[in-house]
Amino acid sequence: MAKKVLIVYAHQSSGSFNAAAKNAAVEVLTAQGCTVDVSDLYAMGFKATATAEDIKGEVKNAENFCYLEESKLAWEQGKLSADIMEEQSKLTEADLIIFQFPMYWFSVPAILKGWIDRVLTNGFAFSQEKRYSQGIFKDKKAMLSFTTGSLESMFSPTGINGDMNVTLWPLQNGILHYCGFQVLAPQIFWAPSSAVAEDRKSMLESWRTRLQGLLEEKPLSFISLDCFDDKAFQLKPEVQEKHASKEFGLTVGIHLNKSLPPHSQMKAGC
């Protein structure tokens, strides 16, 4: 059965390396029989700020406006703005979501953060009962594909920027895994702006090769919600005991005061 792919693309220039990476994904995945939809956020003029304007009609509490609660209610009533509803429809239909962007300030560009804030609304993308391994999008895959301005060596455990696994934890665990996505290993293009043309070409060829088998890749490993108690959401004692003698912590974030597991946010099976 043909897969549907959504690429959420955030770059201002059609001549950028990010554009080339996006175009490669469209070409290779389409050739495999996938239906590929692209949300070009800058071209769309996508609004980055989450405000009361995102809700059609009157809000429940204008005096003490709470976006989390108001957007959930608006989603339930079909009162979210048209641009949000359109993106949610694309996301609902997609089997795989690829976020293509340049890393800004160790995170995503503001316009992409706005897409996350506005599209992944309470109720639609998560709830108190449906999150992490029991999340709403547990049958979908998602991944980050991005460029850096710094060299790979600078994002190492001994590099000035620190371990890239730590940088990725809030994005991959706190957003994607939180919504239930099976998170594929990121595609990182290290400092293409300072690379020679031949190296940039090689980066894109490696991406094209990976795209050939992307849909069959195993996702990164995260801890199941079942491993935590349902009150304070602490690791259950038996889980802590099981890993007490292990060299590394469970994950980058839940590390049990041990050494961080190497590559756990960058390679499946780590």
In CATH, what number is assigned to the domain containing residue 153? 3.40.50.360
Nearest to 168, CA basis, from 150, 151, 187: 187
pLDDT for 30 equals: 97
Helix, coil or strand: residue 44:
helix
pLDDT for 269 equals: 78
Nearest to 82, CA basis, from 124, 109, 46, 113: 46
Helix, coil or strand: residue 31:
helix
pLDDT for 77 equals: 96
Q: Which domain holds residue 139?
A: 4-219
In a domain, 131, yes or no: yes
In a domain, 40, yes or no: yes
In a domain, 224, yes or no: no
Model pLDDT for residues 161-202, shown as the tens digit of each residue: 999 999 999 999 999 999 999 999 999 999 999 999 999 999
CA–CA distance, 267 with 270 (Å, rounded to integer): 6
Half-sphere CA count of 12, side-chain side, radius 13 A? 3
In a domain, 229, yes or no: no
- What backbone phi and psi angles, to 5 degrees, belong to 243? -105, 5
pLDDT for 2 equals: 73
DSSP E strand stretches across 90-132: 96-102
Report the pLDDT averaged over residues 82-89.
98
Instruction: Say what the pTM is.
Output: 0.96
N-to-C CA span, the chain: 30
Number of independent structural domains in the chain: 1
In a domain, 18, yes or no: yes
In a domain, 66, yes or no: yes
Helix, coil or strand: residue 28:
helix
Considering the chain, what is the average pLDDT of its residues?
96
In a domain, 147, yes or no: yes
In a domain, 249, yes or no: no
pLDDT for 270 equals: 72
Model pLDDT for residues 94-105, shown as the tens digit of each residue: 999 999 999 999
Model pLDDT for residues 111-166, shown as the tens digit of each residue: 999 999 999 999 999 999 999 999 999 999 999 999 999 999 999 999 999 999 99
pLDDT for 1 equals: 62
Model pLDDT for residues 63-72, shown as the tens digit of each residue: 999 999 999 9
pLDDT above 90 as % of the chain:
99
CA–CA distance, 194 with 259 (Å, rounded to integer): 32
CA–CA distance, 108 with 167 (Å, rounded to integer): 11
